[in-house]
Amino acid sequence: MRTITRRMLMTGTAGIVAAALMPRWLHASVQMGGWQVDTLSDGNLVLPADFIFGPAEDADLAPILDRHGLTGAAQLTPPCNLTLLRGNGRVVLFDAGSGPGFQPSAGTLPDAMAALGVTPGEVTDVVFTHGHPDHLWGVLDDFDEPLFHGARHYMGAGELDYWRDPETVETIGAARQAFAVGAARRLDALDGIIETFDDGDEVVPGVQAVLTPGHTPGHMSFAVAGAMILGDAIGNHHMAFEAPALPSGADQDMDLGIETRLALFDRIIADDMALIGFHLPAGGIGRAERAGGAYRFVPAG
């Protein structure tokens, strides 16, 4: 296991040139149960590969890295896909993206929305999966006012408590200290605006919260119209699908992250659900298929 420092996470700039060549508005679009579902690209992150792979054994990882052309890769450039539901008189956005303050390769959500013809003021509901920078920091505009100024904002009660707790900056560990400071600042600005919900609640009509902890303490996924909006509970299409029981350094509680991931796959397969993943490729909408004793990601369309 290698240690990732905060500096490595916050200055991941070497991939910017490659990122600039990626299709910026790549998104997926499907109709589900009365909703028009689009994913919106917020660009991509640039992470040290060890941030995810560090805790797993090399022997377990090697075949997976080989299959995905990642052998020896120092960096990963996971895409960021936000989910937008339109229908039933609502415009529901899951997570708010990175904004301009996290990584230079991310924060393209406003352009992706414009390309779809949706303005921030039209969003009626912003629903957070969790409080990490690439999900939360885009919630404020340049004046530190809510960007989605007409929207109700919701976060799971346990997740909100965690990021608002002044102890979190001390307990979260050096690699994520800036995450805690940044989250607290945004949530302070949303004080009196943000509402909470619990496991099983219907956050928006037809959208049910599913507690999926491990990646963060109060991470939430959402069941809607035969699909599961995963957030980061299944956080990539390589290790998380092909060896979901391996520890991921992306999870703040790695054991709980494994338990959650295995339970989510069980439910998705048993209920034949589509899935939408924040960091999955091809816009993030697809299905999980059983493969080789685990799973593989099959993009929609």
Smallest separation (angstroms) from Zn ion to the CB of 34: 29
Number of residues located near Zn ion, criterion CB under 5 A:
2
- Closer Cβ to Zn ion, 132 or 186, answer by number: 132
Distance CA 186, CA 243 (A): 35
| Two structure tokens written together for 211 | 């507690």
Smallest separation (angstroms) from Zn ion to the CB of 129: 8
* Maximum separation of any 2 CA atoms in the chain, in Å: 51
Burial grade of 55 (CB within 10 A; 0-12, 13-18, 19 or more) = middle
Smallest separation (angstroms) from Zn ion to the CB of 21: 25
CA gyration radius for the chain?
A: 18
- Closer Cβ to Zn ion, 47 or 207, answer by number: 47
* C-alpha distances in Å from residue 162, one per residue of 130, 172, 187: 10, 10, 11
- Closer Cβ to Zn ion, 133 or 206, answer by number: 133
- Closer Cβ to Zn ion, 232 or 242, answer by number: 232
Smallest separation (angstroms) from Zn ion to the CB of 231: 7
Residue 135 dihedral angles phi and psi, to the nearest 5°? -110, -25
- Closer Cβ to Zn ion, 30 or 187, answer by number: 187
CA 158 to chain centre: 17
Position of minimal CB gap to Zn ion: 132
8 A C-beta contact, residue 278 and residue 232: yes
CA 129 to chain centre: 7
- Closer Cβ to Zn ion, 86 or 176, answer by number: 176
Residue 251 as a binder of Zn ion (CB under 5 A): the answer is no
| Two structure tokens written together for 149 | 């100024």
Distance CA 204, CA 109 (A): 22
Of residues 43 through 82, those in contact with Zn ion by CB under 5 A are: none
Smallest separation (angstroms) from Zn ion to the CB of 16: 21
Smallest separation (angstroms) from Zn ion to the CB of 215: 6
- Closer Cβ to Zn ion, 86 or 132, answer by number: 132
Considering only residues 27, 86, 132, 176, which one is a binding residue for Zn ion as defined by CB under 5 A? 132
Give me the 201-240 binding string for Zn ion, x by CB under 5 A, dash otherwise: -------------------------------x--------
For 264-275, letters b (16+ CB in 10 Å) and e give bbeebeeeebbb
Q: Give the binding site for Zn ion (CB under 5 A).
A: 132, 232
